[in-house]
Amino acid sequence: MPLWPVYTGTKEPHDGITELPAPPPWRAFDGGPELATPAETDDASATSPDRTHRAATYQATARTVQLVNAALYLRRPLLVTGPPGTGKSSLAYSVARELKLGPVLRWNITSRSTLHDGLYQYDPLSRLYAARQSATALDPGAPVPDSGIEDHLRLGPLGTALLPYARPRALLIDEIDKSDLDLPNDLLNVLEEGQYEIPELVRAARRSPAAEVMVDGTDERVPVDRGRVRCRAFPFVVLTSNGEREFPPAFLRRCVTLRLRQPDDQQLAGIVRAHLGEPDDRARSLITRFLSRVGGGDLATDQLLNAIYLARSSDLSAESLDELAEQLMPYLGEATRADAF
């Protein structure tokens, strides 16, 4: 029997993803040809100190471990909701690092984001310009030759995640609640079917069935046959939400939902320990102050970490420490309202 859990939250990289059992019959995918999952070091931007630090210091709770594994076993997206600063985005990096899923593909959502943005970007103007430049160089009077579509098309983070990789890729769709009302519904079919088409390549398939297209984050090229992409291992998809809106029931039904809560004193101590070392008296004092203020409004854990870091970097009196806490740990809602005027 495969071991449960595959993801343990212990931060030690391993090949447990190979122990994942076969998917449910309704979540089996057979895309090809199979692609090797890129190593973390293949993408310099994905191995930045910030992202590496976040992956290595993430503190997973037992509930988080359970629901991450449920999403992996069921091949379903994981919708992570909770207050700011509870580690929603960092979870994707933690899972990718432990299970060796390669660089995390990240799609930052805005109110203008569309499904097309996540799948691929095609620039017909650059294609026309390149063709004209080529024709002018050869013979100013010659007809404009057709420039290959694939040279002006790049897969987006969602489009790249759905390539037929041997291991699932990790995809972070960050702050989905900021999107237009239609985007969650638009995602339903793609995430349910694990596939999509690129119409520009479908139309060109009569002349050239196979195309080598660029993928998100690198200049690597992968083959796409007749403009159709279908996954082989369904990606580990993390959608984060600050709880600012409700989602359609059909969307929620297709997700595993993880609701994160503000950490308690022991969890906060563990987070401080992972980031800054063993908490001293000043750190414990700031943790106590943080917890006493949480009930009055939204606070983020990184506000506490900033205060502890500065307290350790200076020689502050108790009064100065209190003043520092007030300045670095304002309620986020109050900060937002203040910025509006």
CB 240 within 8 A of CB 171: no
46 and 77 housed in the same domain = yes
Cα Rg, the chain, nearest whole Å = 23
CB 254 within 8 A of CB 286: no
At residue 135, the pLDDT reads: 53
In a domain, 1, yes or no: no
239 and 271 housed in the same domain = no
- Angstrom distance (rounded) from CA 144 to CA 139: 10
Q: Last residue of a domain, which of 227, 243, 259?
A: 259
- Average pLDDT of the residues in 251-272: 92
At residue 234, the pLDDT reads: 97
Is residue 250 exposed (0-12), middle (13-18) or buried (19+ Cβ within 10 Å)?
A: exposed
At residue 321, the pLDDT reads: 81
- Angstrom distance (rounded) from CA 231 to CA 38: 15
Q: How far is CA 210 from CA 98, 204, 272, in A?
A: 34, 9, 51
Domain that holds residue 207: 16-124+148-259
pLDDT value at 296 more than 70: yes
Residue 85 banded pLDDT, cuts 50, 70, 90: confident
- Average pLDDT of the residues in 86-104: 94
pLDDT value at 151 more than 90: no
CB 156 within 8 A of CB 216: yes
CB 199 within 8 A of CB 227: yes
- Average pLDDT of the residues in 308-334: 82
At residue 86, the pLDDT reads: 86
- Angstrom distance (rounded) from CA 207 to CA 109: 36
pLDDT value at 49 more than 70: no
249 and 277 housed in the same domain = no
pLDDT value at 298 more than 90: no
Specify which of 28-42, 143-157, 159-173, 291-305 reaches the highest per-range mean pLDDT: 159-173
Residue 118 banded pLDDT, cuts 50, 70, 90: very high
- Average pLDDT of the residues in 315-333: 82
Least confident of 169-183, 191-205, 320-334: 320-334
Q: Last residue of a domain, which of 223, 242, 259?
A: 259
294 and 332 housed in the same domain = yes
Closest to 157 (Cα-Cα) out of 228, 211, 87, 104: 104
Residue 46 banded pLDDT, cuts 50, 70, 90: very low
Q: What is the mean pLDDT of the chain?
A: 86
- Average pLDDT of the residues in 205-223: 87
- Angstrom distance (rounded) from CA 125 to CA 117: 17
- Average pLDDT of the residues in 25-37: 93
At residue 139, the pLDDT reads: 54
pLDDT value at 216 more than 90: yes
113 and 226 housed in the same domain = yes
Omega cis (within 30) before 263: no
Q: Last residue of a domain, which of 237, 259, 281?
A: 259
- Average pLDDT of the residues in 235-260: 93
At residue 338, the pLDDT reads: 42
Residue 135, both tokens: 């024709």
Report which residue type is found at 183. Answer: L
| Coarse DSSP helix, strand, coil percentages of the chain, rounded to the nearest 5 percent | 45, 15, 40
Q: Residue 167: count other Cβ atoms within 10 Å of its Cβ.
A: 21
Least confident of 170-174, 239-243, 333-337: 333-337
CB 107 within 8 A of CB 174: yes
Residue 329, both tokens: 């740990």
In a domain, 11, yes or no: no
Which neighbouring-strand residues pair with 122? 153
Report which residue type is found at 244. Answer: E
CB 229 within 8 A of CB 57: no
172 and 321 housed in the same domain = no
Residue 265, both tokens: 């004193």
CB 159 within 8 A of CB 149: no
At residue 154, the pLDDT reads: 92
Count the helices and strands in the chain (H runs, E runs): 14, 11
To the nearest whole percent, how much of the chain has pLDDT over 70? 87
